[in-house]
Amino acid sequence: MSDKHHLVSCIIPVYNGERFLAEAIDSILSQTYKVTEIVVIDDGSTDGTPDVVRGYGNRLRYARQTNAGKSAARNHGIRLATGEFIAFLDADDLWHSEKLARQIDRFIARPELGYCLTHRQNFWVSERAGEAARLQDHRLTEAHPGTASTFIARTECFNLVGPLNDRLKNRDIQEWMLRADRLGVVREVMPDVLVSRRIHDSNESRQRRKEEWFDIIKQSLDSKRQNKSGK
Amino acid sequence: MLNENTRLITDDQQVAAKVMDGEAILINLSNGLYYSIAGTGGMIWSLIENGYSLEEIADTLSRQFSVPKQEVISDVRQLASKLLSESLVTVGDSDASANTDSSLPHDVSTSYETPTLKKFDDMADMFALDPPLPGLADAPVIENPKRSQE
Protein backbone atom coordinates (compact mmCIF):
# COMPACT_ATOMS: atom_id res chain seq x y z
CA MET A 1 0.00 0.00 0.00
CA SER A 2 1.54 3.23 -1.01
CA ASP A 3 -1.08 5.89 -1.14
CA LYS A 4 -4.40 6.78 0.40
CA HIS A 5 -6.65 5.29 -2.22
CA HIS A 6 -8.04 2.44 -0.25
CA LEU A 7 -11.80 2.23 -0.15
CA VAL A 8 -13.22 2.03 3.36
CA SER A 9 -16.71 0.54 3.72
CA CYS A 10 -18.40 2.27 6.65
CA ILE A 11 -21.18 0.09 7.97
CA ILE A 12 -23.96 1.59 10.07
CA PRO A 13 -26.40 -0.91 11.58
CA VAL A 14 -29.54 0.94 12.62
CA TYR A 15 -32.74 0.05 14.40
CA ASN A 16 -35.23 2.86 15.01
CA GLY A 17 -32.39 5.35 14.90
CA GLU A 18 -34.13 8.35 13.31
CA ARG A 19 -33.11 10.65 16.15
CA PHE A 20 -29.34 10.46 15.76
CA LEU A 21 -28.68 8.71 12.44
CA ALA A 22 -28.15 11.88 10.38
CA GLU A 23 -25.44 13.06 12.79
CA ALA A 24 -23.67 9.72 12.46
CA ILE A 25 -23.82 9.81 8.64
CA ASP A 26 -22.64 13.43 8.60
CA SER A 27 -19.65 12.47 10.72
CA ILE A 28 -18.59 10.07 7.95
CA LEU A 29 -19.24 12.61 5.19
CA SER A 30 -17.06 15.15 6.99
CA GLN A 31 -14.09 12.81 7.33
CA THR A 32 -10.84 14.23 6.01
CA TYR A 33 -10.33 10.79 4.47
CA LYS A 34 -12.74 10.78 1.55
CA VAL A 35 -12.46 7.34 -0.02
CA THR A 36 -15.49 5.82 1.65
CA GLU A 37 -18.68 3.99 0.87
CA ILE A 38 -21.45 4.23 3.44
CA VAL A 39 -23.59 1.14 3.92
CA VAL A 40 -26.65 1.58 6.13
CA ILE A 41 -28.31 -1.64 7.22
CA ASP A 42 -31.79 -1.02 8.52
CA ASP A 43 -32.58 -3.78 10.98
CA GLY A 44 -36.34 -3.60 10.49
CA SER A 45 -36.93 -0.09 11.85
CA THR A 46 -40.49 1.02 12.36
CA ASP A 47 -39.68 4.74 12.76
CA GLY A 48 -38.55 7.36 10.26
CA THR A 49 -35.13 5.78 9.65
CA PRO A 50 -35.82 5.15 5.92
CA ASP A 51 -36.74 8.84 5.48
CA VAL A 52 -33.48 9.97 7.05
CA VAL A 53 -31.58 7.70 4.66
CA ARG A 54 -33.59 8.89 1.64
CA GLY A 55 -32.46 12.42 2.33
CA TYR A 56 -28.89 11.41 1.41
CA GLY A 57 -29.85 10.14 -2.05
CA ASN A 58 -27.11 8.15 -3.73
CA ARG A 59 -24.41 9.19 -1.30
CA LEU A 60 -25.03 5.98 0.61
CA ARG A 61 -26.16 2.42 0.10
CA TYR A 62 -29.15 1.17 2.00
CA ALA A 63 -30.46 -2.31 2.68
CA ARG A 64 -33.27 -3.39 4.91
CA GLN A 65 -33.64 -6.67 6.74
CA THR A 66 -36.18 -8.26 9.06
CA ASN A 67 -35.18 -7.43 12.62
CA ALA A 68 -32.33 -9.77 13.50
CA GLY A 69 -30.07 -7.76 15.78
CA LYS A 70 -27.07 -5.49 15.42
CA SER A 71 -24.52 -8.23 14.72
CA ALA A 72 -26.64 -9.74 11.96
CA ALA A 73 -26.96 -6.24 10.50
CA ARG A 74 -23.19 -5.74 10.63
CA ASN A 75 -22.68 -9.10 8.91
CA HIS A 76 -25.19 -8.05 6.25
CA GLY A 77 -23.15 -4.90 5.74
CA ILE A 78 -19.93 -6.88 5.43
CA ARG A 79 -21.50 -9.01 2.71
CA LEU A 80 -22.48 -5.90 0.73
CA ALA A 81 -19.22 -4.04 1.31
CA THR A 82 -16.81 -3.63 -1.57
CA GLY A 83 -14.01 -1.83 0.27
CA GLU A 84 -10.53 -2.97 1.25
CA PHE A 85 -11.41 -2.01 4.80
CA ILE A 86 -14.49 -2.52 6.96
CA ALA A 87 -15.33 0.06 9.61
CA PHE A 88 -18.33 0.09 11.94
CA LEU A 89 -20.22 3.10 13.23
CA ASP A 90 -23.23 2.83 15.50
CA ALA A 91 -26.17 5.00 14.48
CA ASP A 92 -25.96 7.02 17.70
CA ASP A 93 -22.19 7.61 17.78
CA LEU A 94 -19.93 10.11 16.05
CA TRP A 95 -16.56 9.85 14.37
CA HIS A 96 -14.14 12.74 14.78
CA SER A 97 -13.15 14.11 11.39
CA GLU A 98 -9.62 12.64 11.48
CA LYS A 99 -10.74 9.18 12.53
CA LEU A 100 -10.31 7.24 9.30
CA ALA A 101 -7.26 9.19 8.14
CA ARG A 102 -5.37 8.42 11.35
CA GLN A 103 -6.30 4.75 11.25
CA ILE A 104 -5.46 4.30 7.56
CA ASP A 105 -2.05 5.83 8.34
CA ARG A 106 -1.50 3.04 10.87
CA PHE A 107 -2.36 0.37 8.30
CA ILE A 108 0.04 1.96 5.82
CA ALA A 109 2.77 2.13 8.45
CA ARG A 110 2.17 -1.44 9.60
CA PRO A 111 1.44 -3.88 6.77
CA GLU A 112 1.03 -6.67 9.35
CA LEU A 113 -1.80 -4.84 11.15
CA GLY A 114 -5.13 -6.68 10.91
CA TYR A 115 -7.49 -4.40 12.79
CA CYS A 116 -7.36 -1.18 14.72
CA LEU A 117 -9.33 0.41 17.57
CA THR A 118 -9.13 3.84 19.15
CA HIS A 119 -10.07 5.51 22.40
CA ARG A 120 -13.46 7.10 22.71
CA GLN A 121 -15.20 9.67 24.85
CA ASN A 122 -18.66 9.08 26.29
CA PHE A 123 -21.20 11.88 26.23
CA TRP A 124 -24.68 11.87 27.66
CA VAL A 125 -27.96 12.93 26.03
CA SER A 126 -29.69 15.81 27.78
CA GLU A 127 -32.26 13.53 29.46
CA ARG A 128 -29.41 11.70 31.15
CA ALA A 129 -27.49 14.77 32.24
CA GLY A 130 -28.13 13.73 35.82
CA GLU A 131 -26.14 10.59 35.37
CA ALA A 132 -23.30 12.47 33.69
CA ALA A 133 -23.09 14.69 36.78
CA ARG A 134 -23.20 11.77 39.19
CA LEU A 135 -20.47 9.96 37.30
CA GLN A 136 -18.26 13.01 37.10
CA ASP A 137 -15.20 11.36 38.62
CA HIS A 138 -15.97 7.92 37.32
CA ARG A 139 -13.60 6.20 34.87
CA LEU A 140 -16.41 6.15 32.30
CA THR A 141 -16.33 9.90 31.92
CA GLU A 142 -12.69 9.69 30.91
CA ALA A 143 -11.52 8.61 27.49
CA HIS A 144 -11.14 4.86 27.31
CA PRO A 145 -10.47 2.25 24.64
CA GLY A 146 -13.58 1.33 22.72
CA THR A 147 -14.75 -1.28 20.23
CA ALA A 148 -17.79 -0.98 17.93
CA SER A 149 -17.60 2.53 16.48
CA THR A 150 -13.81 2.65 16.78
CA PHE A 151 -13.30 -0.63 14.89
CA ILE A 152 -11.73 -0.90 11.45
CA ALA A 153 -10.25 -4.04 9.90
CA ARG A 154 -8.80 -5.18 6.64
CA THR A 155 -11.67 -6.90 4.83
CA GLU A 156 -9.50 -10.00 4.37
CA CYS A 157 -9.53 -10.50 8.16
CA PHE A 158 -13.20 -11.41 7.94
CA ASN A 159 -12.37 -14.08 5.37
CA LEU A 160 -9.85 -15.52 7.81
CA VAL A 161 -11.72 -15.14 11.12
CA GLY A 162 -15.26 -15.45 9.76
CA PRO A 163 -18.27 -13.21 10.33
CA LEU A 164 -19.49 -11.89 13.66
CA ASN A 165 -21.44 -14.26 15.87
CA ASP A 166 -24.96 -12.96 15.36
CA ARG A 167 -26.39 -14.85 18.32
CA LEU A 168 -24.67 -12.21 20.47
CA LYS A 169 -26.48 -8.92 20.46
CA ASN A 170 -23.78 -6.69 21.87
CA ARG A 171 -20.48 -8.40 22.56
CA ASP A 172 -20.12 -9.61 19.01
CA ILE A 173 -17.01 -7.59 18.25
CA GLN A 174 -15.16 -8.68 21.40
CA GLU A 175 -16.01 -12.29 20.66
CA TRP A 176 -14.71 -11.83 17.10
CA MET A 177 -11.53 -10.32 18.54
CA LEU A 178 -11.01 -13.37 20.75
CA ARG A 179 -11.21 -15.57 17.66
CA ALA A 180 -8.90 -13.23 15.75
CA ASP A 181 -6.39 -13.31 18.63
CA ARG A 182 -6.29 -17.07 18.54
CA LEU A 183 -5.44 -16.91 14.82
CA GLY A 184 -2.66 -14.42 15.46
CA VAL A 185 -4.33 -11.44 13.78
CA VAL A 186 -2.47 -8.27 14.81
CA ARG A 187 -4.43 -5.62 16.73
CA GLU A 188 -3.59 -2.02 17.60
CA VAL A 189 -5.44 0.19 20.06
CA MET A 190 -4.64 3.82 19.27
CA PRO A 191 -4.42 6.17 22.26
CA ASP A 192 -6.12 8.91 20.23
CA VAL A 193 -9.70 9.80 21.09
CA LEU A 194 -11.41 9.61 17.70
CA VAL A 195 -14.96 8.59 18.55
CA SER A 196 -17.73 10.11 20.65
CA ARG A 197 -20.15 7.62 22.09
CA ARG A 198 -23.58 8.81 23.02
CA ILE A 199 -24.98 7.39 26.25
CA HIS A 200 -28.76 7.20 26.07
CA ASP A 201 -29.46 3.56 26.73
CA SER A 202 -31.87 2.08 29.19
CA ASN A 203 -31.03 0.15 32.30
CA GLU A 204 -32.46 -2.89 30.62
CA SER A 205 -30.06 -2.85 27.73
CA ARG A 206 -27.11 -2.37 30.10
CA GLN A 207 -28.20 -5.42 32.03
CA ARG A 208 -28.49 -7.37 28.79
CA ARG A 209 -24.94 -6.42 27.83
CA LYS A 210 -23.63 -7.60 31.19
CA GLU A 211 -25.48 -10.88 30.73
CA GLU A 212 -23.68 -11.45 27.45
CA TRP A 213 -20.32 -11.21 29.15
CA PHE A 214 -21.37 -14.10 31.34
CA ASP A 215 -22.29 -16.17 28.30
CA ILE A 216 -18.89 -15.51 26.74
CA ILE A 217 -17.08 -16.35 30.00
CA LYS A 218 -19.13 -19.48 30.53
CA GLN A 219 -18.28 -20.66 27.02
CA SER A 220 -14.62 -19.98 27.63
CA LEU A 221 -14.61 -21.83 30.98
CA ASP A 222 -16.42 -24.80 29.46
CA SER A 223 -14.00 -25.01 26.56
CA LYS A 224 -11.03 -24.82 28.96
CA ARG A 225 -12.44 -27.74 30.92
CA GLN A 226 -13.12 -29.68 27.74
CA ASN A 227 -9.55 -29.19 26.54
CA LYS A 228 -8.24 -30.37 29.87
CA SER A 229 -10.35 -33.53 29.96
CA GLY A 230 -9.50 -34.26 26.33
CA LYS A 231 -5.75 -34.38 27.07
CA MET B 1 -11.18 -11.40 61.89
CA LEU B 2 -13.31 -13.97 60.14
CA ASN B 3 -15.51 -15.99 62.43
CA GLU B 4 -18.67 -18.04 62.14
CA ASN B 5 -20.88 -14.99 62.58
CA THR B 6 -19.25 -13.04 59.78
CA ARG B 7 -21.59 -11.90 57.02
CA LEU B 8 -20.04 -10.93 53.73
CA ILE B 9 -21.33 -8.10 51.57
CA THR B 10 -21.41 -8.13 47.80
CA ASP B 11 -21.24 -4.97 45.71
CA ASP B 12 -22.73 -5.27 42.24
CA GLN B 13 -21.17 -1.96 41.22
CA GLN B 14 -17.73 -3.52 41.54
CA VAL B 15 -18.41 -7.19 40.99
CA ALA B 16 -20.91 -8.61 38.55
CA ALA B 17 -21.98 -12.12 39.45
CA LYS B 18 -24.12 -14.81 37.99
CA VAL B 19 -24.77 -18.43 38.87
CA MET B 20 -24.75 -20.68 35.82
CA ASP B 21 -25.17 -24.47 36.05
CA GLY B 22 -24.37 -24.36 39.74
CA GLU B 23 -21.12 -22.49 39.17
CA ALA B 24 -20.71 -18.91 40.34
CA ILE B 25 -19.05 -16.61 37.82
CA LEU B 26 -17.78 -13.29 39.13
CA ILE B 27 -16.35 -10.39 37.16
CA ASN B 28 -14.37 -7.69 38.89
CA LEU B 29 -15.57 -4.74 36.82
CA SER B 30 -12.70 -2.48 37.77
CA ASN B 31 -9.87 -4.70 36.56
CA GLY B 32 -11.49 -7.24 34.25
CA LEU B 33 -10.37 -10.30 36.20
CA TYR B 34 -12.97 -13.00 36.35
CA TYR B 35 -13.49 -15.92 38.70
CA SER B 36 -15.26 -19.21 38.85
CA ILE B 37 -16.38 -20.90 42.06
CA ALA B 38 -16.96 -24.50 41.08
CA GLY B 39 -18.15 -27.24 43.38
CA THR B 40 -21.03 -25.90 45.41
CA GLY B 41 -19.92 -22.37 44.54
CA GLY B 42 -23.16 -21.22 43.01
CA MET B 43 -25.14 -22.09 46.06
CA ILE B 44 -22.66 -20.50 48.45
CA TRP B 45 -22.57 -17.30 46.45
CA SER B 46 -26.37 -17.06 46.49
CA LEU B 47 -26.36 -17.55 50.25
CA ILE B 48 -23.73 -14.82 50.66
CA GLU B 49 -25.83 -12.47 48.52
CA ASN B 50 -28.80 -13.18 50.75
CA GLY B 51 -26.86 -12.16 53.83
CA TYR B 52 -26.19 -15.57 55.38
CA SER B 53 -23.42 -15.72 57.94
CA LEU B 54 -20.62 -18.23 57.42
CA GLU B 55 -22.20 -20.49 59.99
CA GLU B 56 -25.63 -20.27 58.40
CA ILE B 57 -24.07 -21.12 55.04
CA ALA B 58 -22.31 -24.15 56.51
CA ASP B 59 -25.53 -25.18 58.22
CA THR B 60 -27.52 -24.99 55.01
CA LEU B 61 -24.95 -26.94 53.00
CA SER B 62 -24.49 -29.55 55.67
CA ARG B 63 -28.22 -30.21 55.76
CA GLN B 64 -28.59 -30.11 51.99
CA PHE B 65 -25.82 -32.60 51.29
CA SER B 66 -25.74 -34.53 54.60
CA VAL B 67 -22.10 -33.83 55.29
CA PRO B 68 -20.61 -32.99 58.72
CA LYS B 69 -20.83 -29.29 59.46
CA GLN B 70 -17.21 -29.17 60.68
CA GLU B 71 -16.00 -30.16 57.27
CA VAL B 72 -18.16 -27.59 55.53
CA ILE B 73 -17.40 -24.68 57.85
CA SER B 74 -13.68 -24.93 57.25
CA ASP B 75 -14.24 -24.95 53.46
CA VAL B 76 -16.56 -21.95 53.74
CA ARG B 77 -14.06 -20.03 55.87
CA GLN B 78 -11.28 -20.71 53.42
CA LEU B 79 -13.42 -19.57 50.52
CA ALA B 80 -14.52 -16.46 52.41
CA SER B 81 -10.95 -15.41 53.12
CA LYS B 82 -10.01 -15.90 49.45
CA LEU B 83 -13.01 -13.82 48.33
CA LEU B 84 -11.93 -11.10 50.74
CA SER B 85 -8.32 -11.11 49.64
CA GLU B 86 -9.43 -10.78 46.00
CA SER B 87 -11.70 -7.84 47.01
CA LEU B 88 -14.78 -9.61 45.69
CA VAL B 89 -16.66 -9.08 48.96
CA THR B 90 -16.33 -7.00 52.11
CA VAL B 91 -17.14 -7.81 55.72
CA GLY B 92 -20.57 -6.67 56.79
CA ASP B 93 -22.52 -6.32 59.99
CA SER B 94 -22.65 -9.65 61.82
CA ASP B 95 -25.79 -8.57 63.72
CA ALA B 96 -27.77 -8.26 60.51
CA SER B 97 -30.10 -11.07 59.63
CA ALA B 98 -30.26 -13.17 56.53
CA ASN B 99 -32.94 -12.91 53.92
CA THR B 100 -34.25 -16.45 54.14
CA ASP B 101 -37.45 -15.72 52.24
CA SER B 102 -36.06 -15.48 48.74
CA SER B 103 -35.83 -18.72 46.87
CA LEU B 104 -32.31 -20.02 46.39
CA PRO B 105 -31.17 -21.58 43.17
CA HIS B 106 -31.67 -25.29 43.04
CA ASP B 107 -28.20 -26.74 43.23
CA VAL B 108 -27.51 -28.97 40.26
CA SER B 109 -24.87 -31.03 42.04
CA THR B 110 -26.13 -33.98 44.00
CA SER B 111 -23.18 -34.39 46.31
CA TYR B 112 -21.06 -31.93 48.26
CA GLU B 113 -17.97 -30.67 46.50
CA THR B 114 -15.38 -28.42 48.10
CA PRO B 115 -15.88 -24.94 46.62
CA THR B 116 -12.76 -23.73 44.83
CA LEU B 117 -12.13 -20.20 43.62
CA LYS B 118 -10.28 -19.98 40.32
CA LYS B 119 -9.03 -16.74 38.87
CA PHE B 120 -8.59 -15.89 35.18
CA ASP B 121 -7.07 -12.88 33.49
CA ASP B 122 -7.31 -13.89 29.85
CA MET B 123 -10.14 -11.49 29.08
CA ALA B 124 -8.92 -8.49 31.03
CA ASP B 125 -8.06 -6.54 27.91
CA MET B 126 -11.46 -7.34 26.41
CA PHE B 127 -13.15 -5.87 29.48
CA ALA B 128 -10.88 -2.85 29.33
CA LEU B 129 -12.28 -2.33 25.85
CA ASP B 130 -15.86 -1.32 26.29
CA PRO B 131 -16.16 -1.50 30.08
CA PRO B 132 -19.68 -2.23 31.28
CA LEU B 133 -21.70 0.74 32.54
CA PRO B 134 -23.07 0.54 36.06
CA GLY B 135 -26.83 0.25 36.38
CA LEU B 136 -28.62 3.58 36.06
CA ALA B 137 -30.41 3.47 39.37
CA ASP B 138 -27.36 2.60 41.38
CA ALA B 139 -24.67 4.63 39.67
CA PRO B 140 -22.29 5.78 42.41
CA VAL B 141 -23.20 9.17 43.74
CA ILE B 142 -20.14 11.35 43.84
CA GLU B 143 -20.11 14.48 45.92
CA ASN B 144 -19.54 17.46 43.71
CA PRO B 145 -18.40 20.43 45.80
CA LYS B 146 -19.08 22.95 43.02
CA ARG B 147 -22.65 21.79 42.73
CA SER B 148 -23.45 21.69 46.44
CA GLN B 149 -22.40 25.34 46.77
CA GLU B 150 -25.02 26.40 44.27
Q: Where are the domains of chain B?
A: 8-149
**A86 located within any domain:** yes
User: What's the gap in Å between the CA of A65 and the closest CA on chain B?
Assistant: 27
Chain A hits for B147, Cβ within 8 Å: 133
Q: Which ipTM did the prediction report? A: 0.74
Residues A114 and A157 in one domain: yes
Q: Which of the residue ranges A19-28, A179-188, A202-211, B94-103 has the most confident prediction, judged by mean pLDDT? A: A19-28
A227, A175: one domain? no
Mean pLDDT over A219-223 rounds to: 85
Domain count, chain A: 2
pLDDT, one tens digit per residue, over B123-147 is: 777 776 666 555 544 333 333 333 3
Contact A77, A14 (CB under 8 A): no
Q: How many angstroms separate the CA of residue A218 from the nearest CA in chain B?
A: 8
CB B43 within 8 A of CB B51: no
Rounded Cα distance between A36 and A33, Å, is 8
pLDDT at A118 over 90: yes
Nearest residue to B63 (alpha-carbon basis) of B81, B78, B49, B47 = B47
Are B35 and B26 in contact by the 8 Å Cβ rule? The answer is yes
| Confidence band of B149 (pLDDT split at 50, 70, 90) | very low
Per the CB < 8 A criterion, the answer to whether A119 and A194 are in contact is yes
Q: What is the pLDDT of residues B47-78, one digit of tens each?
A: 999 999 999 999 999 998 889 999 999 999 99
The CATH number of residue A134's host domain is 3.90.550.10
Please compute the mean of the pLDDT values over residues A117-143 and round it to a whole number. 80
Mean pLDDT of the region A62-83:
96
The verdict on residue A1 lying in a domain is no
Please indicate, yes or no, whether residues A61 and A75 belong to a single structural domain of this protein: yes
Chain A residues whose C-beta is within 8 A of a chain B C-beta are 117, 131, 133-140, 144-148, 174, 177-178, 189, 199, 201-203, 206-207, 209-211, 213-214, 216-218, 220-221
- Same domain, yes or no: A117 and A93: yes
CA-to-CA distance for A101 and B124, rounded, in angstroms? 29
Residue in B with minimal Cα distance to A171: B130
Domain encompassing residue A209:
203-231
Cβ contact B132–A148 (<8 Å)? no
- The answer to the question of residue A2 being in a domain is no
What pLDDT is stored for residue B52 in this prediction?
92
Answer whether A207 sits within 8 Å of B135, measured CB to CB.
Answer: yes
Predicted confidence (pLDDT) per residue in A147-185, tens digit: 889 999 999 999 999 999 998 777 789 889 988 988 999
Q: What is the pLDDT of residue B22?
A: 85
Same domain, yes or no: A57 and A165:
yes
The answer to whether residues A194 and A228 belong to one domain is no
pLDDT beyond 70 at A77? yes
Say how far apart CA A28 and CA A30 lie, in whole Å: 5
Taking an 8 Å cut-off on Cβ atoms, the answer to whether B136 and A206 are in contact is: yes
Q: Are residues A76 and A105 in the same domain?
A: yes
